[in-house]
Amino acid sequence: MPDPASPGSLPIVAFIGGGNMARSLVGGLLAAGADPAAVRVADPSADARAALASDFGVATFESAADAVDGAEAWVFAVKPQVMRAVCTELAAVAQQARPLVVSIAAGITSAQLDRWLGGGLAVVRTMPNTPALLGAGVTGLYANPRVDAAGRARAEGLLASAGATVWIDDEALMDAVTGTSGSGPAYVFLLAEAMEEAAIAEGLAADAARTLVRHTILGAARMLVESGEPPTELRRRVTSPGGTTQAAIEAFEAGDLRGLVARAVRAATRRGGELSAAND
Ligand SMILES: NC(=O)C1=CN([C@@H]2O[C@H](COP(=O)(O)OP(=O)(O)OC[C@H]3O[C@@H](n4cnc5c(N)ncnc54)[C@H](OP(=O)(O)O)[C@@H]3O)[C@@H](O)[C@H]2O)C=CC1
Ligand SMILES: O=C(O)[C@@H]1CCC=N1
């Protein structure tokens, strides 16, 4: 009996959309041992298809209908703006095939996906992030009531090779997942940009600033994950009373960094709801 959570024993999975995130997920799946013969990707771009085929050895298709033929899991990896059209085109096939539907799109709800695909389907709405490319991502997953235990295990198996997974029981919170971890890598990259610029403004050479900042973020992230200790405690150990870090933290707090981050996450979270409404 194959283990449905193991990528090596996945049923045939079709990715509809072969862009940035699909590439990350396909790469992660194969790195975790999935058979390239069990992975298909549909994308309208001949260049994207050629790159996917040569990089990963997966079968590629111009037409989504051809890619999903015989696939038990369909992963929708297109932009929210085209999701309705893409689903509607596949609705008749979906009603016959009854696949496990997995979406990685921001904002688009499981009810919308189900409705556009004709209704009554098992749908898992997920939100991965780009470090999936390194197997260092994190994905939030929500399953609609039609998804059984095997479907959950299958969806988790598809995303687990991209990194950690977190099940979310209340779909209304999936936009907050997007605003936290889906978009989150960009927040860290923005911090890196700002720190590099500040370091250069203090007189450091650009290459020195780049190395100092990148390895500071890498080291701090590893400490966060590997120590399991709360960030407040890790920060306390860097902050000598009356020392340099305290001076910097006071500047951050005076500038309301926490409030700014809260407003940014709120903006991303709200945008998820807007993407859902605007593309219904
Ligand atoms: N980028 C990120 O960090 C994250 C993105 N997401 C979600 O992932 C989804 C994809 O994003 P991303 O990979 O960044 O976007 P991309 O634009 O890189 O990928 C989408 C791909 O879908 C293709 N496409 C368009 N129409 C069809 C169709 N009818 N059939 C098959 N493929 C089609 C596009 O081709 P073409 O360009 O030629 O139109 C493109 O290659 C989005 O819904 C996004 O919300 C989720 C988490 C993180
Ligand atoms: O910016 C976006 O809409 C997508 C979803 C999460 C990350 N990128």
For the CA atoms of 7, 9, 12, 13, what is the dihedral angle to 10 degrees? -20
The structural domains of the chain, ordered by start, are 7-174 (3.40.50.720), 184-276 (1.10.3730.10)
Side-by-side strand order, sheet with 73-76: 59-61, 39-42, 13-16, 73-76, 100-103, 122-127, 137-143, 163-167
Q: Which of 43, 76, 87, 133 to mutate to test the pocket of ligand 1 (most atoms within 8 A of CB)?
A: 43
Ligand 2 pocket list (CB less than 6 A): 106, 178, 182-183
Residue nearest to atom 3 of ligand 2 (CA): 106
Which H or E element spans position 79? none
Answer whether residue 81 shows pLDDT above 70: yes
Predicted confidence at residue 11, as pLDDT, reads 87
19 pLDDT above the threshold of 60:
yes
pLDDT at 10 over 80: no
Task: State in Å: Cα 194 to ligand 2 middle.
Answer: 21
Give me the pLDDT at residue 168, please. 98
Give distance in angstroms: CA of 107 to centre of ligand 2: 9
Residue 119 has pLDDT above 80, yes or no: yes
Q: What is the rounded CA–CA span in Å between residue 160 and residue 165? A: 6
| Alpha-carbon gap, residue 210 to 196, rounded angstroms | 6
pLDDT in tens, 44-67: 999 999 999 999 999 999 999 999
* Residue found by looking up tokens 């001076």 in the block: 247
User: Residues annotated as binding site for NADP(+)?
Assistant: 16-21, 77-80
Give nearest CA residue, ligand 1 atom 39.
44
pLDDT digits (tens, 9 = 90+) for 95-108: 999 999 999 999 99
Q: Which residues contact 49 (CB under 8 A, 6 or more apart)?
A: 18, 41, 43, 60, 61, 62
* Each residue's pLDDT tens digit, 213-271: 999 999 999 999 999 999 999 999 999 999 999 999 999 999 999 999 999 999 999 99
Mean pLDDT within 202-211: 98
Q: Which two tokens stand for residue 146?
A: 């039609």
The ipTM estimated for the assembled molecules is 0.98
AA letter at 156: E
138 closest CA partner among 177, 88, 194: 177
Between residues 11 and 171, the one the model is more confident about: 171
Check whether 32 has a pLDDT greater than 90.
no
Distance 235 CA to ligand 2 centre (A): 29
Residue nearest to atom 22 of ligand 1 (CA): 17
Query: What pLDDT shows up at residue 4?
Result: 45
Banded pLDDT at 31 (limits 50, 70, 90): confident
Q: Which ligand is nearest to the CA of 159?
A: 1
Q: What are phi and psi of 123, to 5 degrees?
A: -125, 130
Q: Whose CA is nearest to atom 7 of ligand 2?
A: 183
Q: Do 77 and 104 form a contact (C-beta atoms < 8 A)?
A: yes
Q: What is the mean pLDDT of residues 12-28?
A: 95
269 alpha carbon – ligand 2 mean position (Å):
10
Q: What is the pTM of this model?
A: 0.95
Structure confidence at residue 126 (pLDDT): 98
Ligand number nearest CA of 79 is 1
Residue whose CA is at the smallest distance from ligand 1 atom 40? 19
The rounded mean pLDDT for the chain is: 95
What is the token pair recorded at 221?
Answer: 């992230």
What does the pLDDT read at residue 133?
86
